[in-house]
């Protein structure tokens, strides 16, 4: 038993009025109770209890020690109750890391609903397109769009991620539509810095297709806007351009090729054990919001587009 338990035993002996009564309440023998009291007195270097055959009484030091111990134990009980309540009702500050564009489009617009549902939660949403160190930087959860490698972190899949090749009708009218990956060499391709190799899966399996273009940028959002404006061909996620595809401002081309299907949308967090209620609530909220067919994919009929291309 640790020192805290010895303190608890001492307090119980005093409140119960004797070692036998305290032993019955705690499920311990009087001999064990006596041994723990002696150990406590030895550690403190003071006698706390005067023992007689009929009763025990507190010494002067015992009186002072008891008053303080009761306060300490009450504080511990209060702290444990606070943690228990926190794990029952989502509350406190929730620190979230998420990709910039995705968070702007598909997390920020829904935060009002989440905070209305859980009014005791405060959200600290930090945007970065880098993989943050969740544990080292103190995040509760990170949203990632990736093919996750094994790690000590826990990941929950929130939704599929479809990344397709697309272009604006105005660009295709001027330059024609590529029919094969090799045709991309004759087209202006749009990509952010260091993303000039498109990792694709197609009828022949995995393909690493190098692309070129005249626009240089470090911004994925610039690539998106350039594609919509008709400046070239881009590899984009449907969460990013779903509305543009539905409205006809962009068209899927070479639908038999998509980014590696291992890529998905994940919530990543440090541990499954003792998961705070605020974290569980946020992850469940996003999983419910997105689902197996996220709202940005509804109406796109991606499988039909792939089937039509295969039939052709």
* Residue 254 and residue 274 share a domain: no
How many angstroms separate the CA atoms of 139 and 146, rounded?
Answer: 18
* Residue 101 and residue 52 share a domain: no
User: What is the predicted pLDDT for the residue at 1?
Assistant: 43
190 domain residue, yes or no: yes
Q: pLDDT digit string (tens) for 134-187?
A: 878 889 999 999 887 656 678 899 999 999 999 999 999 999 999 999 999 999
* Residue 155 and residue 76 share a domain: no
* Residue 59 and residue 39 share a domain: yes
Ramachandran category for residue 251: left, alpha or beta (phi over 0 → left; psi -120 to 50 → alpha): beta
User: What is the predicted pLDDT for the residue at 245?
Assistant: 95
CATH of the domain at 25: 1.10.10.10
Tokens for 3? Answer: 């020192």
119 domain residue, yes or no: yes
* Residue 278 and residue 139 share a domain: yes
Predicted confidence (pLDDT) at residue 248 exceeds the cutoff of 90: yes
The torsion angles phi and psi of 130, rounded to 5 degrees, stand at -95, 155
How do 163-167 and 233-237 pair as beta strands? Answer: antiparallel
The string of DSSP letters for 112-141 reads HHHHHH-TTEEEEEEE-SS---TTTTT-SE
* Residue 50 and residue 24 share a domain: yes
* Residue 240 and residue 269 share a domain: no
How wide is the angle at C-alpha 175 spanned by C-alphas 208 and 239, nearest 5°?
55
Domain end residue (candidates: 88, 121, 145): 88
User: What is the predicted pLDDT for the residue at 311?
Assistant: 45
Cα 40 to Cα 2, 22, 203, 276: the distances in Å are: 10, 16, 75, 36
With tokens 């291309």, the residue in question is 309
The torsion angles phi and psi of 158, rounded to 5 degrees, stand at -100, -35
User: What is the predicted pLDDT for the residue at 310?
Assistant: 46
Domain end residue (candidates: 260, 276, 307): 260
* Residue 189 and residue 250 share a domain: yes
DSSP for residue 219: -
Check if the beta carbon of residue 202 is closer than 8 Å to that of residue 261: no
300 domain residue, yes or no: no
297 domain residue, yes or no: no
With tokens 């617009």, the residue in question is 109
With tokens 């032993």, the residue in question is 23
122 domain residue, yes or no: yes
How many angstroms separate the CA atoms of 254 and 229, rounded?
Answer: 20
* Residue 176 and residue 250 share a domain: yes
Range of the domain at 53: 3-88
Predicted confidence (pLDDT) at residue 86 exceeds the cutoff of 90: no
Which residues lie closer than 8 Å to 308 by C-beta, 6 or more apart? 255
> Rounded mean pLDDT of the chain?
87
| Torsion of Cα atoms, 206 then 189 then 178 then 147, to 10° | 20
CATH of the domain at 155: 3.40.190.10
Q: pLDDT digit string (tens) for 28-71?
A: 888 888 898 899 889 889 898 887 656 788 888 888 888 888 77
Segment 95-117 shows an average pLDDT of 96
* Residue 194 and residue 135 share a domain: no
* Residue 255 and residue 180 share a domain: yes
Tokens for 294? Answer: 């996220």
98 domain residue, yes or no: yes
What is the separation of C-alpha 157 from the centre of its chain, rounded to a whole number of angstroms? Answer: 10
96 domain residue, yes or no: yes
CATH of the domain at 179: 3.40.190.290
Tokens for 102? Answer: 């995705």
Total number of domains constituting the chain? 3
Domain end residue (candidates: 36, 57, 88): 88
301 domain residue, yes or no: no
Q: Identify the band that residue 4 occupies on the pLDDT scale cut at 50, 70 and 90.
A: low
Predicted confidence (pLDDT) at residue 81 exceeds the cutoff of 90: no
* Residue 185 and residue 132 share a domain: no
Segment 114-124 shows an average pLDDT of 96
């Amino acid at each position: 038993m640790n020192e805290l338990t010895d303190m608890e035993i001492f307090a119980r002996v005093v409140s119960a009025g004797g070692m036998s009564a305290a032993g019955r309440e705690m499920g311990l023998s009087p001999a064990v109770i006596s041994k723990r009291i002696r150990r406590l007195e030895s550690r403190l270097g003071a006698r706390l209890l005067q023992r007689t055959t009929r009763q025990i009484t507190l010494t002067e030091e015992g009186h002072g020690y008891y008053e303080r111990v009761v306060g300490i134990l009450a504080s511990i009980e209060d702290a444990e109750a606070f943690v228990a309540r926190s794990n029952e009702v989502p509350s406190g500050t929730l620190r979230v890391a998420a990709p910039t564009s995705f968070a702007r489009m598909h997390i920020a617009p829904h935060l009002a609903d989440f905070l209305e549902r859980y009014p005791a939660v405060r959200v600290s949403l930090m945007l970065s397109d880098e993989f943050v160190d969740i544990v080292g930087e103190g995040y509760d959860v990170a949203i990632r769009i990736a093919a996750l490698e094994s790690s000590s972190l826990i990941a929950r899949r929130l939704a599929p991620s479809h990344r397709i090749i697309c272009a604006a009708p105005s660009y295709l009218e001027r330059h024609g539509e590529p029919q094969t990956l090799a045709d991309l060499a004759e087209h202006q391709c749009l990509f952010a810095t260091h993303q000039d190799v498109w990792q694709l899966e197609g009828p022949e399996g995995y393909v690493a297709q190098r692309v070129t273009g005249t626009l240089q940028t470090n911004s994925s959002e610039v690539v998106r806007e350039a594609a919509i404006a008709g400046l070239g061909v881009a590899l984009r996620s449907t969460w990013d351009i779903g509305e543009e595809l539905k409205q006809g401002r962009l068209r899927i081309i070479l639908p038999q090729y998509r980014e590696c299907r291992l890529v998905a949308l994940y919530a990543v967090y440090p541990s499954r054990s003792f998961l705070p209620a605020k974290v569980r609530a946020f992850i469940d909220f996003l999983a419910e919001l997105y689902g197996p067919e996220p709202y940005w994919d509804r109406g796109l009929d991606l499988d039909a587009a792939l089937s039509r291309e295969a039939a052709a």
